[in-house]
Amino acid sequence: MDKLVNKTLWHKQYEQMKIEELVKLAKQPQEFQLALRDIIKSVKKSSNPSKIIEIGCGNGITSLILDNNFEKYLLDYDPKAIELAKELFNLFNQQAQFFTSDMFDMPFVDEYFDIVFNAGVIEHFSFEDRVSALNEYSRVLKENGLLVIAFPNHYSLPYRLGYLKKVISGKWPYPQEFKLFDLKQELDSCSLELVKRVVTSKKTSFYFLSRGLRSIFLSIDKFFKFEGYLTVLIIKKVHL
């Protein structure tokens, strides 16, 4: 999908978000947000504060619920997203640095961050744009740092069906999603290496189905175990 279309659709989402609703969500994070938080915590290599950036942060809830033993940076191209994230952090008395910038050309020196992460970003871009983004993520990542890239798992049948039904009916409010597995070709193009692929958050995968289909798929899941909603890739630089 065209980058401009992506930006337009996301801006519409941010304009509709209310800070009161975001506060409620931050107090009761969704299953996949908690899972991603725990994965990031598990890959943190030092007990000392680590520089971490969420690229394409949106409302910033995932960064907000990370441990405070991180020096947090949040970046998004949309000023409204950054405005919401700033307000949310202020309401929870948390500190972070915020940047309104394009993720394909970020305002940071090389090898600045210990952890670079995002969720729900990479799947909206073409192969060429995914490679460009990953190269830029790698540029700002320290030599021994880690990328944590999360995206919806279209190999989860409940999620895939829910997504396609909403797309076909014109009710899908977000940009198009590409069906991704482990980004092997993209990583090979960027001198990056997959450390681990994790699939998590099964309950969330049923959320996108209608009530009737949800009941049916939950019954089937007792016998045929569906995959979870979220794919998380843990990635490192290749030492040449």
- Each residue's pLDDT tens digit, 120-170: 999 999 999 999 999 999 999 999 999 999 999 999 999 999 999 999 999
Q: How far apart are CA 159 and CA 161, in angstroms?
A: 5
Is residue 187 predicted with pLDDT exceeding 70?
yes
Mean pLDDT score, 5-23: 88
Residues of the chain above pLDDT 70, percent? 97
pLDDT at 5 over 70: no
CATH architecture of 3-153+177-202+229-237: 3-Layer(aba) Sandwich (3.40)
157-168 and 211-221 helices cross at what angle (nearest 10)?
160
How far CA 174 is from CA of 2, 6, 115, 146, 166, in Å, comes to: 13, 8, 27, 28, 10
Mean predicted lDDT score pLDDT of the chain: 95
**pLDDT of res. 1:** 52
35-39, 44-48, 87-91, 101-105: which has the minimum mean pLDDT? 44-48
DSSP state of 120: S
- Confidence at residue 238, expressed as pLDDT on a 0 to 100 scale: 87
Which residue, 80, 22, 85, is CA-closest to 53? 85
For CA atoms 54, 60, 64, 66, give the dihedral sign. Answer: negative
Structure confidence at residue 10 as a pLDDT band (50, 70, 90): confident
pLDDT recorded at residue 216: 96
Give the model's confidence band at 9: pLDDT under 50 very low, under 70 low, under 90 confident, else very high: confident
**pLDDT score recorded for residue 240:** 65
For residue 124, report the phi and psi dihedrals to the nearest 5 degrees: -90, 0
Residue 4: is its pLDDT beyond 70? no
Q: For residue range 17-64, what is the model confidence (pLDDT) as tens digits?
A: 999 999 999 999 999 999 999 999 999 877 677 999 999 999 999 999
Q: What pLDDT score does 106 carry?
A: 98
pTM for this model (two decimals): 0.94
Predicted local confidence at residue 2, as pLDDT: 59
The secondary structure element, H or E, covering residue 99 is: strand 97-100
User: Which letter, b or e, does each residue of 32-52 get, where b requires 16 or more Cβ atoms within 10 Å of its Cβ?
Assistant: bbebbbebbeebbeeeeebbb
Alpha carbons 202 and 199: distance in angstroms, whole number: 8
Tell me 17's DSSP state. Answer: -
Residue 11 binned pLDDT confidence (cut-offs 50, 70, 90): confident
Q: Are strands 230-237 and 141-152 parallel, antiparallel or unpaired?
A: antiparallel
Least confident of 74-78, 159-163, 173-177, 178-182: 173-177
Position 48 scores a pLDDT of 75
Instruction: Evaluate whether 90 touches 114 at the Cβ level (below 8 Å).
Output: no
